Structure 1
């Protein structure tokens, strides 16, 4: 049986770099959202990707001068696609590509919605030290063992009707029991689009990532959510 043209098409790199460094000391990768199902590539005009553009720009500013490489993950498919977990597989490919290009660097993954799920799944990669998941998709049976020894901060709007903030709370609890440094911050009046209270979303995300990369201090509500012996849920 002959391969189709689509089968023979080269696989594009999963890693797209927005900023490189002469002497890199760390990296952050941004992952946008998607759909539960969809084998077609993400469209050129992609609202999910556009939603993460301000986050990427904020991260570039927040990490300026600290030797932090900033990039994003390119998905082959628009959807998660069940057990294939395509977005997670692409994230692992991007991390492998980053390691081949720059060597062993501590990496923080920042993902929204499906991208948050992909980041949490890929956290077991040797390079990953932390994850910041924004309004993540966290089904109850998703694994947490890969987060052992890593930091995971889940930011979720209390009014989200697309992904369930209660599932983020449950996920962080399970991750803590599995050995992660994990916590959830619920954003009052926050919604899935991150447009309402956008400044709060942006500030918490960029400051948390910078802190996990050693370029600043954690926001107080995030620090409290990560403290051992306290409730892993805080409100902003």
Structure 2
């Protein structure tokens, strides 16, 4: 029998969280956020290249955490773009985290976001579940807020061949987040481009190691651990995916 939706149900927004793997009981969660556009009010298309770019990362993280009771999910965007002060992707990320909290309770969450999704992840780090953010070639425009990142752990990774989002935005935001009280680190991935196709294996391996380290399921890359322990200003190290 086909269910008939009421008018009230039709007005409700679709869930913002796509749950890819549950755990019982959950120990932690990882939520992925794909990229998008600066301005676009239409929904992401069904065949969505930014979403496809995140699938290898999801598979690598799933393999690395298969025995650790880690919930895996992704944010569903209502709109394809950030859309100025609306910050639609960040609002969807916060809705997804609220939905996750109902499913898992107060578990630590690591957000992994690429490009616009990196900006959304940084904004959504204000949510009490979020302990850490991994930003992959994140979009970090001038004046992006950082005060809410105090007490969080932030790792931004940018390829030096990126021609879409400016790596300097990552370096500057990481420094400002550090001054605001975050444990933050920015890494330069030599040869990496915005689409993360150049040196794809290095992107996947590094991100997985960062996620498991931030969840305390394994060691962080030594360069990141050193930056977290060093409270003073630091340069931007290059990391060769290990």
- Give the TM bin, normalised by the shorter chain: over 0.9
Aligned to 1:63, which of 62, 65, 68?
65
Cα root mean square deviation, aligned = 1.4
CA distance in structure 2 between the partners assigned to 1:38 and 1:128 by the alignment: 27
Aligned to 2:174, which of 165, 172, 192?
172
Q: Deviations over 1:79-104 (max 9, x none)?
A: 00000000000000000001111111
Indicate the residue corresponding to 2:80 in structure 1: 78
CA distance in structure 1 between the partners assigned to 2:227 and 2:141 by the alignment: 21
Displacement after TM superposition at 1:225 (Å):
3.5
Alpha-carbon contact 1:183-1:232 (below 8 Å) kept = no
Indicate the residue corresponding to 2:33 in structure 1: 31
Partner SS for 1:38 = coil
Displacement after TM superposition at 1:230 (Å):
5.4
CA distance in structure 2 between the partners assigned to 1:89 and 1:172 by the alignment: 22
Displacement after TM superposition at 1:227 (Å):
3.3
Indicate the residue corresponding to 1:206 in structure 2: 208
Displacement after TM superposition at 1:67 (Å):
1.0
CA distance in structure 2 between the partners assigned to 1:233 and 1:208 by the alignment: 16
Partner SS for 1:124 = coil
Unaligned runs of 5+ in 2: 1-6
CA distance in structure 1 between the partners assigned to 2:53 and 2:82 by the alignment: 18
Partner SS for 1:115 = helix
CA distance in structure 2 between the partners assigned to 1:226 and 1:115 by the alignment: 23
Indicate the residue corresponding to 1:125 in structure 2: 127
Alpha-carbon contact 2:175-2:233 (below 8 Å) kept = no
Q: Segments of 4+ in structure 1 off by > 6 A?
A: none
Q: Aligned runs of 1:80-229 on 2, under 5 Å?
A: 80-228=82-230, 229=232
Aligned to 2:54, which of 30, 39, 52?
52
CA distance in structure 2 between the partners assigned to 1:71 and 1:207 by the alignment: 18
Indicate the residue corresponding to 2:4 in structure 1: none
CA distance in structure 2 between the partners assigned to 1:172 and 1:182 by the alignment: 6
Q: Deviations over 1:107-161 (max 9, x none)?
A: 0000000000000001010000000000000001110011100100000001100
Q: Deviations over 1:20-67 (max 9, x none)?
A: 011101000000000001111100000000000000111101111111
Indicate the residue corresponding to 1:234 in structure 2: 237
The TM-score, its normalising length taken from structure 2, stands at 0.92
Displacement after TM superposition at 1:233 (Å):
1.7
The TM-score, its normalising length taken from structure 1, stands at 0.95
Displacement after TM superposition at 1:203 (Å):
1.0
Alpha-carbon contact 1:73-1:91 (below 8 Å) kept = yes
Worse-superposed segment, 191-200 or 173-182: 191-200
